[in-house]
Amino acid sequence: MSQPILTPDALRSEVRPFAGPAWRFVEAQHRVSTLKLVDGLAEQAMLEHILEETKPPLPKDCQHLNYLLATPFRYRPYPQGSRFRRAGLTPGVWYGAERPEAAAAEMVFYRFLFYAESPGTPFPDDAAEYTAICAMLAAPASLDLTSGALAANRAQWMHLTDYAPCQTLAESAREIGVEVIRYASVRDPARGANLAVLSCRAFAAPEPTQRQTWRIRIGRSGAQALCEQPRLGLEFATDAFAPDPRLVGMIWERPRAR
């Protein structure tokens, strides 16, 4: 297997501009989570302002963005590493997907992982509601791990649990001004493309440009993900992500929450 291209000088020849949509799932209660604590919208606005004052400051490049776009760049230290971000005092990364179906697959996987790591937690009785948001990206410098010389190291970029090569790549990419990394999803059955946004400058607009309402139901047969508009349904069997060792021993027969 060839060694991955990781140094800034080696990466320069692979840099290309990128423009396009990026979809990300967020839990629907982000819109109303504080409303149950107050008596009206004015009080909610006041409470949201107080909460905002207690949070870490946003980086200067992110201050114009909707919080759904800016939040991953705000919090440091990062408690656990992700594919393109090491744990610790590291720069933020906003993860999305080119298609909402790929974003749905990512969300379902992490819900499966939550229950695999919480064997005593009952499955919810009802489907959970999520909002899929679409952000438009426009970056003068990006890397595409699915094509060109970088595609030769596909196995490293798509490893299910070892993120070290991707994290090293992201660090080198930042050194040469790369703002977006495009890579194949290891969760999406169609192997759609995911996008790692390394800089708030990559967002072409400060607000999400589209929203979709999705409901995801998880139970002993796997998961079903339903979109209201456009009408779309996805199914994920219990073995949908079987190659991932973190799901080994997942208990599918468990009571539902009451």
**pLDDT tens, residue by residue, 27-67:** 875 555 666 666 677 766 676 656 666 667 789 999 999 99
Query: 16-27 and 232-236: which strand pairing?
Result: unpaired
Q: Which residue has the tokens 């995801």?
A: 216
Q: Which residue has the tokens 């999406």?
A: 188
From the list 200, 198, 213, 235, the residue with the least C-alpha distance to 25 is 213
**Mean pLDDT confidence for 71-82:** 89
pLDDT of residue 43: 66
**Mean pLDDT confidence for 192-221:** 97
Q: What's the pTM value of the predicted model, to 2 decimals? A: 0.90
Tokens for 88, please give them.
């610790």
From the list 118, 104, 125, 109, the residue with the least C-alpha distance to 250 is 118
Q: Which residue has the tokens 């991707």?
A: 166
Q: What is the pLDDT of residues 226-245, one digit of tens each?
A: 998 999 999 999 999 999 99
**Mean pLDDT confidence for 91-106:** 98
pLDDT of residue 116: 97
With a pLDDT cut of 90, the percent of the chain lying above it is: 78
